[in-house]
Structure 1
Amino acid sequence: MAEQRWPVSRRSFLRGTVAAGVASAGAVAGAPGVALGAPRGRRVAVLGGGVAGLSAAHELIERGFEVTVYEARAFGGKARSVGVPGTGRDGRPDLPGEHGFRFFPGFYQNLPDTMRRIPVTGNAEGVWNNLVTVPEARFSRHDGDDITLALPGEGFPAATTPEAIRETLAGAITTLSRMPAEESAFFANRLLVFNSSCEARRFGQWEHTSWHDFVRGHQRSHEFRAIVSRSLTSIMVAAKADLASTRTIGGMGEQFLGNPLGIGNDGGLDRVLNNATNIAWIDPWVEHLRGLGVRFELGARVTELVVRDKRIGGARISGVGMVEADHYVVALPVEQARKLWSPQILALAPEFAAMDRLFVDWMNGIQIYFRSPLHIARGHTAYVDSPWSLTSISQNQLWTRELSSFGDGTVADCLSIDISDWHTPGVLYGKPAVACTHEEIYREVWAQLTAHLNDREQLLRPAEVHSWFLDPGITWQGARNANADPLLINTAGSWDSRPVAHGPIENLFLAGDYVRTDVDLATMEGANESARAAVNALLDVSGSSAPRCDIVTLRRTPELEPLRVIDADRYAKGLPNMFDVPV
């Protein structure tokens, strides 16, 4: 693990930042739409108020910059929670909906650091204390042969040799699945191949190899493909086995297995928030940033970046006008950011054109509200045989605020469900989710859930359903749905199309989960990491003496490091990894 350290204590630095802010407060008055108050060279316009934008604003305001965040729709982006309109009664807030449930794996390091710096009354470590470790995960099948796994993997020994690691992985895979022992051993060996591969091989070979080809899925059983291709790609990381790179999927597998193998993480293997996201995280974050001096403009959509003298001279923003700042951080999703690349910008940064090759797909949520508590699993459930690759979590058991305090007071639980595959026909209507009306989506999801959960006992009862709510980013267009919030899907070879946080345009910086990061996946951790990289580049350009942001990289199994050294030599000689042999 590589880690950048603060040269001075954060407390001493923040004390100086606050003093500087008090000294300069009100010194500069500006026109509406202009980042205000800072000396020349320190005004920053952050375009986008999702996790990347808020992370950038957080790091910048702590370092004495004047920051304005411009957001078109809602702060928090895809991570936010969404009130179900019109459901609140008698002073209670609307029922909480969301783009889709989210979780915070223990291997996240950068985002938890930010969460610790968001104060919450009664929490010693701020918002971070609102994370709850879930004790188990359930893998549900339509024939009732379900598996419930205790987390974070009790009974997994700390493996110290390649053979012990391979045996541990094979045993875990056999426990989690119905794969024959020989297929479990084969998959464990493939994981060992990846985990012992050097960086050069990961980028030179595995980045350009699909996960499906790497695990030789075409040669394997249906059970193998269901677990290895669906559960580890479509269900867990919203990727497609025949498209996703081995470097991306293998890297995530390496991290998820790190906790059971004894590698230290920030927290539990699988964590969720203890309340609706805005209550537990986003609202306190925005409030804290406002208190530090960040200005927010909501309903402000950037439509153009204006080039002047080979720099960004302004940003045209609907509802605001022309915004002028010294530095611009584009913290928009990739499908929105690439719309801003005019011929003038591409002439200065031709590498941005490669972003058109980046692929986005759908992973959106639906919530079903129940009048009685659910007893499915004390954590996430993956529906292994569901055509739409469903996963779910029942929330009331994990929240400190009862769901009965929302809506009309009769909701006792919420099953928050992610739909990861919008293009495979369902079991009820024979249509993919993208071609179903919202009512059809609900009924199809219900049919797939009950096929998995009600085959031996009735865990879901229609009479107990209070209501349901589909991600408002999904809108019916008369023949098929449109999606305002698609998700970046890493594909084999896509690293070359992803930009770095700072390119050739001096005062333009990029932050988002599509930017090159060590985590290399469309995640909140990736968004946060990219924002830290963008801020560090901005500090360099501006000549700031402020401490650079910590950036913690992913952990690797230390026992395998000598094997990676050997593999570097083998790769340089054109030889395969030493474990890449028939099993």
Structure 2
Amino acid sequence: MAQTEVLVAGAGLAGLSAGIHLLEQGAGRLRVRVLERGHVIGGKASSMPHRDKATQRTFTVDHGFHVFFDYPNLGPRLQALGADGGLARAKHEVLIWSEGAVRRFQAWDVPSPFHLFPGGLLSGLYGPVDGVKIFRFMFDIFVTEIDRLSAAERRALDAISFDDYARQHGLSDDVINSSFFRFVTQSAFIFPKSMSALAAVAAMQLVAQNYDAVACRYLNRGCSDVVIEPLRQHFLRLGGILEKFKAVEHVNVTGDRVSSFTVENNKHYIHATEATTNWYSNYHSTETHAAGPPPVTTDVTAAYYVAALPPRDLEEVLSPASLALPYFEKITRLETQRTIAFTLWYDRVVSPPDADGAIIGLPGPFSTVADLHWLQRDPEGRGSVVQFVGEDGAYASRPDADIVADAMDVLHRVWPAARTATIEKKLFHRGNHDAFFLSTPGSDELRPDAASPYPNLFLAGDYTQTGFRVICMEGAYISGMQAANEILAREGLPRARVLPMKEPGGVISLARLAKRALGGATGP
């Protein structure tokens, strides 16, 4: 029996997830090829070794700092693959930079929502009066059941900013501008823009709705090793085909269907290329590649196509006629923002032993800093490995050197010992291939469903309508499941089950049940 061909563009989390679920549910009837434009798979969840020719040392370069939360679909998948050993033990706390010091906000192992109240008071992030207001506000957030809201209620919640939503609940501007609240938007890489109240409610439920949700798990190695490589191996074991240096240049449409992807086979493609007369260099490494012959371009056909590409990359491969369709035109209005990352390897440990988590809420372009020396079981290097991650928005016009100088100033305030330590290696990058979708007010209605107007083209990516609504690894993974499910349904095959966010338990779940029983709204 001939297999039905499926072509997936993009080998990030979304593309790998789509390929895995198509093969697992496809009963041997599907042949899945995943194309990656470059040499590194994983997209924004990737990492790779950087070989320093001068010192002959290898440094692991991440596209950013990653934290693993209580993900209902990706978490069990990694556990089933035996890969969750790459995640450090859970820490039920958050480190927040406030008034020139690090505050440790620790959740208590008591029923929701009481798990949050003592930690805020003991950390000094807020006093009793503000604490009561914040407690009531968080209670309302946790009780909200987004999936039970009407379409009009969801639009109303998405139309306002998280700050205005907080003001409607009686919180003062002093509280809203405090470090406790600032870390919410900065950890979403949306600064200096405002976050949609709908997206913020979903994010707060993911990371704070009960004691288990507050548990942060850090990666013991690079993200590719911990997350991407187990998925890649599983995809290949299932019979999937993964091809690197295959860049999709155009989505070709004939009539009302996609007829092919135009694919450029370019073995010299490098992320963030810098071209000279005969050489290409890669910011990830000091390697160079001879320019070689011109790339070969072919039209590749399949029965179904999945575009697991970021919004801006998707726009580049669609024709003007496609982009004029309302479904795709909305995608052009989605806002994105580049992330920036900066990693330093020191000759000694520059942070104290209690720097055992990421510090969030920093001033300046980098919102988060962490010392991997205390987070990883087998840290790389002789001393601290300091990772900064932030957003480019307010600093897009500033040169790299200025941003690095700002980061060093902040680092010396947070960990003064770094002033006298020797930096053995430092790597900085920002690029369009690292752009995040921004959950700004009004953005939810612009997010596309997996099924496009073309009956054989489907989209995957954390910017799509996943129902999860949080821009994170879990959102990307679910989007791949949903794209796969659309194809499986059309082939009469069983869909993969997408698990929802877990119930918060405690008083929150009882309050939700009471509202349902009384026929009241479950919204804010």
TM-score by length of 2: 0.83
Deviation by residue 1:229-266 (Cα, 9 ceiling, x = unmatched):
411111x2223486311111112112222332xxx66x
- Structure-1 separation of matches of 2:518 and 2:334: 30
Does residue 338 (structure 1) correspond to residue 338 (structure 2)? The answer is no
Matched residue SS, 1:84: strand
**Offset at residue 87 of structure 1 (A):** 5.0
Asked whether the equivalents of residues 115 and 210 of structure 2 are also in contact (C-alpha less than 8 Å), the reply is no
Residue 290 of structure 2: aligned partner: none
Counterparts in 2 of 1:510 and 1:439: CA distance versus 1, 3 Å: same
- Among all aligned residue pairs of Structure 1 and Structure 2, give the percentage whose two residues are the same amino acid: 21
Residue 500 of structure 2: aligned partner: 553
Letter in 1 for 2:228: I
Deviation by residue 1:59-102 (Cα, 9 ceiling, x = unmatched):
12233321111111220001111333535855x5x201111111
Residue 54 of structure 1: aligned partner: 16
Deviation by residue 1:346-370 (Cα, 9 ceiling, x = unmatched):
57x5322111121111332111111
Q: Which 10-residue stretch deviates more, 288-297 or 359-368?
A: 288-297
Asked whether the equivalents of residues 371 and 464 of structure 1 are also in contact (C-alpha less than 8 Å), the reply is yes
Matched residue SS, 2:68: coil
Counterparts in 2 of 1:241 and 1:439: CA distance versus 1, 3 Å: closer
Counterparts in 2 of 1:293 and 1:156: CA distance versus 1, 3 Å: closer
Asked whether the equivalents of residues 195 and 440 of structure 2 are also in contact (C-alpha less than 8 Å), the reply is yes
Match of 2:7 among 37, 41, 45: 45
Match of 1:363 among 339, 347, 366: 339
Match of 1:412 among 367, 383, 388: 383
Written as runs of structure 1 = structure 2, the 5 A alignment for 1:235-274 is 236-240=187-191, 243-260=194-211, 269-274=215-220
Asked whether the equivalents of residues 178 and 223 of structure 1 are also in contact (C-alpha less than 8 Å), the reply is no
Written as runs of structure 1 = structure 2, the 5 A alignment for 1:185-224 is 185-198=132-145, 199-200=148-149, 203-216=154-167, 220-222=172-174, 224=176
Written as runs of structure 1 = structure 2, the 5 A alignment for 1:180-579 is 180-198=127-145, 199-200=148-149, 203-216=154-167, 220-222=172-174, 224-234=176-186, 236-240=187-191, 243-260=194-211, 269-319=215-265, 320-346=297-323, 350-376=326-352, 377-404=354-381, 411-420=382-391, 422-423=393-394, 432=395, 434-454=396-416, 458=417, 460-471=418-429, 473-474=430-431, 483-544=432-493, 547-557=494-504, 558-565=509-516, 569=520
Deviation by residue 1:193-236 (Cα, 9 ceiling, x = unmatched):
233335326514312221010112997354541334411111x2
Letter in 2 for 1:131: L
- Structure-2 separation of matches of 1:448 and 1:200: 42
Asked whether the equivalents of residues 392 and 415 of structure 1 are also in contact (C-alpha less than 8 Å), the reply is yes
Asked whether the equivalents of residues 231 and 382 of structure 1 are also in contact (C-alpha less than 8 Å), the reply is no
Written as runs of structure 1 = structure 2, the 5 A alignment for 1:7-156 is 39-40=2-3, 42-62=4-24, 63=26, 64=28, 65-73=30-38, 74-87=40-53, 94-106=58-70, 108-118=71-81, 126-135=82-91, 136-141=93-98, 143-144=100-101, 146-150=102-106, 153=107, 155-156=108-109
- Structure-2 separation of matches of 1:291 and 1:250: 38
TM-score by length of 1: 0.75
Tell me the number of residue pairs that the alignment of Structure 1 and Structure 2 aligns. Answer: 478
Asked whether the equivalents of residues 196 and 563 of structure 1 are also in contact (C-alpha less than 8 Å), the reply is no
Letter in 2 for 1:339: E
Q: Which 10-residue stretch deviates more, 71-80 or 335-344?
A: 335-344
**Offset at residue 134 of structure 1 (A):** 4.5
- Structure-2 separation of matches of 1:447 and 1:374: 14
- Structure-2 separation of matches of 1:487 and 1:140: 24
Letter in 2 for 1:230: R
Counterparts in 2 of 1:561 and 1:521: CA distance versus 1, 3 Å: same
Matched residue SS, 1:463: coil
Letter in 2 for 1:116: Q
Deviation by residue 1:433-460 (Cα, 9 ceiling, x = unmatched):
x233333322210101222333xxx3x2
Asked whether the equivalents of residues 230 and 241 of structure 1 are also in contact (C-alpha less than 8 Å), the reply is no
Asked whether the equivalents of residues 50 and 79 of structure 1 are also in contact (C-alpha less than 8 Å), the reply is yes
Matched residue SS, 2:149: helix
- Structure-1 separation of matches of 2:375 and 2:349: 12
Q: Which ranges of structure 2 fall in alignment gaps of 5 or more residues? A: 266-296
Matched residue SS, 1:215: helix
Asked whether the equivalents of residues 202 and 470 of structure 2 are also in contact (C-alpha less than 8 Å), the reply is no
**Offset at residue 490 of structure 1 (A):** 0.6
Matched residue SS, 2:260: strand
Q: Which 10-residue stretch deviates more, 393-402 or 296-305?
A: 393-402
Letter in 2 for 1:171: P
Asked whether the equivalents of residues 357 and 375 of structure 2 are also in contact (C-alpha less than 8 Å), the reply is no
- Structure-1 separation of matches of 2:127 and 2:225: 45
**Offset at residue 526 of structure 1 (A):** 0.5
- Structure-1 separation of matches of 2:344 and 2:380: 12
Matched residue SS, 1:543: coil
Residue 274 of structure 2: aligned partner: none
RMSD (Å), alpha carbons: 2.8
Q: Which ranges of structure 1 fall in alignment gaps of 5 or more residues? A: 1-23, 25-38, 119-125, 160-164, 405-410, 424-431, 475-482, 578-583
